[in-house]
Amino acid sequence: MSAQLALTIAGMQRSVQQGTTGTDLFGEDRTIVAMTVDGQLQDLFREVPGGAVVEPVAIDSVDGLNVLRHSAAHVLAQAVQEVNPQAKLGIGPPITDGFYYDFDVEQPFAPEDLKALEKAMQKIINEGQTFDRRAVTDDAARDELASEPYKLELIGLKSNASEAAEGAEAEVGDGGLTIYDNVHKDGTRAWGDLCRGPHLPSTKLIGNAFKLLRSGGAYWRGSEKNPQLQRIYGTAWPSKTDLKAYLDRLAEAEKRDHRKLGRELDLYSFPDEIGSGLVVFHPKGGVIKREMEDYVRRRHIEEGFDYVGTPHISKAGLFHTSGHLPYYADTMFPPMELEGAEYRLKAMNCPMHNLIFSSRGRSYRELPLRFFEFGSVYRYEKSGVVHGLTRVRGMTQDDSHSYVTAEQAPDEIKHLLSFVLSLLRDFGLDDFYLELSTRETEGDKAAKFIGSNEQWEEATSILERAARETGLDLVDDPGGAAFYGPKISVQAKDAIGRTWQLSTIQYDFNQPERFGLEYQAADGSRKQPVMIHSAKFGSIERFIGVLVEHYAGAFPAWLSPVQVLGVPVAEEYADYLWDVLKQLKGNGVRVELDDSDDRFPKKIRNASKSKVPFVLIAGEDDRAGGAVSFRYRDGSQKNGIPIAQAAAEILSAITERRQV
């Protein structure tokens, strides 16, 4: 008789026979696709040890979706090699809302290839192949994967998987290697891949709620020095309903793409002559940028900040002092030699603010001391990740730094959180949660974080308390901190439910020490301040990109480049309408008159495309009655509105920051 094991299963104490697997425990529920054993995600076919805490993983949970999508990536790779046996495998991890797999193939994938691959995948899925895990030695893996050069490279890098490639952790790790075989119903091996798993019990659980979305080039291990592979992106969901909802969101997101709307609305462009990741704002985009700058400058002053300014370039030694070199050397532009000294384009403003603090003696009476600037910084983002305004190489940060006593730090963080959240709400973003980024404490990654355990524990505790007092959800982000201290980031949802990381607040106990910053305390002693970094927009460029997509280009009246467009019914009413517009202009309203030769219906269509919040129309009845007609973005119209009443409605919408 087999031994009995005591387990905690889904919070309840149970006794099971030795050799019991996750399939034995949860196999009757097809919505359960994996399990956690003492917090570790595992396949259902694994045996559970005595004394373990076992929890089921549902397919619609975060972990469950990752297992589903990782399994779909394996099926994609199997289908590719069935169609093209010469294709070499890269990596294939799950990602947000989907998965991808990289391949080395002679010809890029065409749209019709993706359709054929979907059919091949469906055949594998319908067969109900199982995923079989087996441990292998390094040498055995090399022998088995001798024809896969990229897998061999990953095996060589297994002790440092985080350096191997984005997503490589799904293939190799710090422990032993495993290969997952896709197995036919008759027990024969169909295909296999180097992988850490876990996977679904059967390909049948993928069903038909998957789709291959697109393909494109991707450098191996993310470096342009390496070969360019072909990456296929796909998505997989628990049901066809979920898949359709996601595809509908993608279609809506495509309509809102800020790069497309930026061209259509003449807001900004990215000239090749200037370079990748560098934006120029056109007059209409410049209006939005100026309104944002004016707003946030005023708000900072109201919140007790002093406006400062720093140069775009500095001697490289400054960034050694701050500690940013060598931590961020790869994302800084290469050095330049000037008059025998090495200079760098600045990638961050904080070192220069520290020099302002240390330019003279400081007293405790001055603290909190708050500096703010629109600081232009430059980051060497790889060309493959540059994306419109949301990932650029040159950006303007609404960057601020608070220098406080240790006792003042908790209240300052609360003050900054309140400031940040009120600012986002003024821009129409009011659905958010907070993320607390902390350091790695184990492994090679832990070495990049400086400071004592006591410093990290105190800083993290202060940030966490302030975050929880907001009443917002707080999500942990282990390992996501900067090297010099933990941070809170605001994750805001836009109009179609996508989440964007925007504002950040960081606690820094490192730079004050490195720069020797001091203030004179009340007892006459010299003490080191705490430095708190905060960015409200993050960067102005990225925030504009988010707003364009959030509003689909239809900005609230106060932000709209043109707030009122005048459209005369015929040329003879243009002068009358211009007189009305001039009155509004005198009150600070941004106006335009369409006095083109286009016919009236076309002018109305153009007005609709321009997404102007207010269109004023004037014909004979309007002129005779000293009135105008309103046309709104939704196509509705009000006729014969007295000029004074029309002006009051427009000014009210602007000053109250209403969406119309």
User: Minimum mean pLDDT among 149-163, 328-342, 401-415, 587-601: which range?
Assistant: 149-163
SS (H, E, C) 79-96: HHHHHCCCCEECCCCEEC
Do 299 and 411 lie in one domain? The reply is yes
Strands (E) across 405-537 are located at: 432-438, 474-478, 487-493, 499-508, 519-520, 526-527, 530-535
- Asked whether 356 and 403 are in contact (CB, 8 A), the reply is no
Do 131 and 214 lie in one domain? The reply is yes
Q: What is the mean pLDDT of residues 630-634?
A: 89
In a domain, 556, yes or no: no
Q: What is the mean pLDDT of residues 46-57?
A: 92
Last residue of a domain, one of 229, 254, 279: 254
How do residues 275-323 score in pLDDT, each as one tens digit? 999 999 999 999 999 999 999 999 999 999 999 999 999 999 999 999 8
Do 241 and 99 lie in one domain? The reply is yes
State the pLDDT confidence band at 451, using cuts at 50, 70 and 90: confident
Q: What residues form DSSP beta bridges with 216?
A: 231
pLDDT at 159 over 60: no
In a domain, 263, yes or no: no
> How many CB atoms lie under 10 A from the CB of residue 618?
26
Do 500 and 569 lie in one domain? The reply is no
DSSP state letter for 48: P
pLDDT at 447 over 80: no
pLDDT at 53 over 80: yes
Whether 350 has a binding-site annotation, put simply, is yes
* Average predicted confidence (pLDDT) for the chain: 91
Distance from the Cα of residue 517 to its chain's centroid: 34
Cα distances (Å, whole numbers) of residue 536 to 224, 283, 300, 421: 33, 24, 10, 9
Do 323 and 240 lie in one domain? The reply is no
Catalytic residues: 350, 379, 397, 399, 401, 487, 533
Do 579 and 519 lie in one domain? The reply is no
pLDDT at 176 over 90: no
CATH number of domain containing 628: 3.40.50.800
Do 229 and 302 lie in one domain? The reply is no
CATH number of domain containing 487: 3.30.930.10
State the pLDDT confidence band at 164, using cuts at 50, 70 and 90: very low
In a domain, 26, yes or no: yes
pLDDT at 467 over 60: yes
| Residue 594, helix vs strand vs coil | coil
Q: What is the mean pLDDT of residues 130-142?
A: 94
* Full-model pTM: 0.84
CA–CA distance, 138 with 330 (Å, rounded to integer): 31
Q: What is the mean pLDDT of residues 15-31?
A: 91
Residue 175, C-beta contacts closer than 8 angstroms, at least 6 positions apart: none
Do 151 and 299 lie in one domain? The reply is no
State the pLDDT confidence band at 36, using cuts at 50, 70 and 90: very high
Do 535 and 588 lie in one domain? The reply is no
Q: What is the mean pLDDT of residues 240-267?
A: 95
Angle (CA) 305 310 314, round 5°: 145
Strands (E) across 195-256 are located at: 210-219, 228-236
- Asked whether 327 and 483 are in contact (CB, 8 A), the reply is yes
Do 368 and 351 lie in one domain? The reply is yes
How do residues 508-519 score in pLDDT, each as one tens digit? 988 999 999 999
State the pLDDT confidence band at 171, using cuts at 50, 70 and 90: low
Do 195 and 163 lie in one domain? The reply is yes
How do residues 140-158 score in pLDDT, each as one tens digit? 999 999 999 999 999 988 6
Q: Which domain holds residue 18?
A: 4-58
SS (H, E, C) 312-359: CEEECHHHHHHCHHHHCHHHCCCCEEECCEEEEECCCCHHHHHHHHCC
Which stretch, 130-134, 328-332, 485-489, has highest mean pLDDT? Answer: 130-134
CATH number of domain containing 119: 3.30.980.10
Q: Residue 225's pLDDT is what?
A: 85
Do 330 and 477 lie in one domain? The reply is yes
Strands (E) across 494-550 are located at: 499-508, 519-520, 526-527, 530-535
State the pLDDT confidence band at 330, using cuts at 50, 70 and 90: confident
Q: What is the mean pLDDT of residues 203-217?
A: 96
Q: Residue 28's pLDDT is what?
A: 87
In a domain, 558, yes or no: no
Q: Residue 311's pLDDT is what?
A: 95
How many structural domains does the chain have? 4
Provide the percentage of residues in the chain whose pLDDT is more than 70. 96
CA–CA distance, 352 with 322 (Å, rounded to integer): 10
How do residues 569-620 score in pLDDT, each as one tens digit? 999 999 999 999 999 999 999 999 999 999 999 999 999 999 999 999 999 9
In a domain, 460, yes or no: yes
In a domain, 261, yes or no: no
- Asked whether 179 and 109 are in contact (CB, 8 A), the reply is no
> How many CB atoms lie under 10 A from the CB of residue 37?
17
- Asked whether 660 and 636 are in contact (CB, 8 A), the reply is no
Last residue of a domain, one of 485, 517, 551: 551
State the pLDDT confidence band at 443, using cuts at 50, 70 and 90: low
Last residue of a domain, one of 187, 219, 254: 254
pLDDT at 19 over 50: yes
In a domain, 517, yes or no: yes
In a domain, 559, yes or no: no
Q: Residue 483's pLDDT is what?
A: 78
pLDDT at 161 over 50: no
pLDDT at 162 over 50: no
Question: Residue 177 belongs to what H/E stretch?
Answer: strand 177-183
pLDDT at 660 over 50: yes
Q: Residue 170's pLDDT is what?
A: 57
